[in-house]
Amino acid sequence: MDVKIEETWKAVLQEEFDKPYFEILTNFVRKEYQTTTIYPPAKLIFNAFNLCPFDQAKVVIIGQDPYHGPGQAHGLCFSVNDGVAYPPSLINIFKEIEDDLHRPTPTSGNLERWAKQGVLLLNAILTVRANQPASHQNKGWEEFTDRVIKELSDKRDGLVFMLWGSYAQKKGAVIDTKKHLVLKAVHPSPLSAYRGFFGCKHFSQANAYLQSRGKSPIEW
């Protein structure tokens, strides 16, 4: 199958695109976009990949599925379009960055600036129905993003994986911890952030690790 995605990712994932499950998934997603409101806009499904090529990724953050409110999702986990109010988890991410790195809260919740520096903002599920969280669960996206994580773990060295919450940590079970730095904490949602997300210092740890391997730090 010919999928419109950034070329380095296409080379790594073409085998996956040719599997029967991916064709079934594609047909399902296409029909959903034709019959109901789906987020993100179809052209932005692979936005995380297009903004952060496979060979340029330095940090991987794993989310669950896209925001399901109007105008929020644009293909990057935890990120929202310019001018959109910050969701609670993103507010808490910015609070931790402020505490960890003494950076003021940014004026935009659009994290494209991270993606362009090598942060892959990967949701496990890449599409969702409006106002129906997890509505595209168990349709094939999880199998696809498992492969993405495995390829990154196997074919790259010295990446930082940030796994927030039990869902992301299960998803990251395939990561080779001898080759990569895996940082774990509870999810940044208001329900759990005070149980260990605040104070986790993942952002300074990530930058220290990158610099120790001769890579430039992320401007969080």
How far, in Å, CA of 92 to CA of 105, rounded? Answer: 10
Q: Name the catalytic one among 55, 65, 99, 157.
A: 65
DSSP-derived 3-state class of residue 206: helix
Please tell me what DSSP assigns to residue 178. T
How far, in Å, CA of 157 to CA of 178, rounded? Answer: 9
Question: Look-up: residue for tokens 């498992």?
Answer: 146
Structure-block tokens of residue 99: 């505490």
Residue type, 192: S
- Helices 202-212/88-101 angle, 10° precision: 60
Radius of gyration of the chain (CA): 17
Please indicate whether residue 65 is annotated as part of the active site: yes
How far, in Å, CA of 164 to CA of 177, rounded? Answer: 16
Phi, psi of 126 (to 5 degrees): -100, -5
Catalytic residues: 65
